[in-house]
Amino acid sequence: MTVREILKMGDPRLLRIAEPVTEFDTPAMRRLIADMFETMHAVNGAGLAAPQIGVNLQLVIYGSRNNARYPEAPEVPETILINPVLTPLSDEVVENWEGCLSVPGLRGVVPRWHALHYEGVDQFGAVISRDVDGFHARVVQHECDHLIGVLYPMRVTDFSRFGYTSVLFPELEGDEDD
């Protein structure tokens, strides 16, 4: 396993539409997923999308168990989600703070669907189908946005609530990797 370089906002590879995965449980995929978990854990991330390490595939991982960066966040099961399709379950939109490993040092308030249904497959091609809300729904929306070339600052509607983590949340100082 290898900690991979996380691309930062401004890199055109973060703006691509990711390709669907067509082969499952291959050695290359196992290596990719292992590298993604190692990379995410190395920076205490709650999620990571393959395009963030320059791999243009519809594959995201997430999970927030015991995450020092989000101590108040409810647990989200560790998940490998491939070829996802998201469908909101209501019109309700909620706002909350987000950061991104590709946008280090910054946080912003982002409106997201409160509740959604998502479907996809895991690394073996087995179906994943869940109804979720709150933080879980937010994490999935954030990660899946990376598959359509969208970074969270592109969804910020109120730039008075966007800024440096060290200024907005000084208690999180030292947590510079975001």
Catalytic residues: 143
Largest CA distance in the chain: 46
Closer residue to Ni ion (CB): 59 or 100: 100
Instruction: Dihedral sign for Cα 68, 110, 91, 81, please.
Output: negative
Measured CA to CA, the distance from residue 35 to residue 2 in angstroms comes to: 5
Instruction: Give me the least distance between CB of 126 and Ni ion, in Å please.
Output: 25
Measured CA to CA, the distance from residue 167 to residue 47 in angstroms comes to: 23
CB 134 within 8 A of CB 142: no
Interacting residue ranges for Ni ion, rule: CB under 5 A = 100
Closer residue to Ni ion (CB): 124 or 154: 154
CB 119 within 8 A of CB 128: yes
Instruction: Give me the least distance between CB of 125 and Ni ion, in Å please.
Output: 25
Instruction: Give me the least distance between CB of 145 and Ni ion, in Å please.
Output: 8
Closer residue to Ni ion (CB): 82 or 152: 152
Q: Which residue is nearest to Ni ion (CB)?
A: 100
Q: Which residue's entry shows tokens 């989600």? A: 81
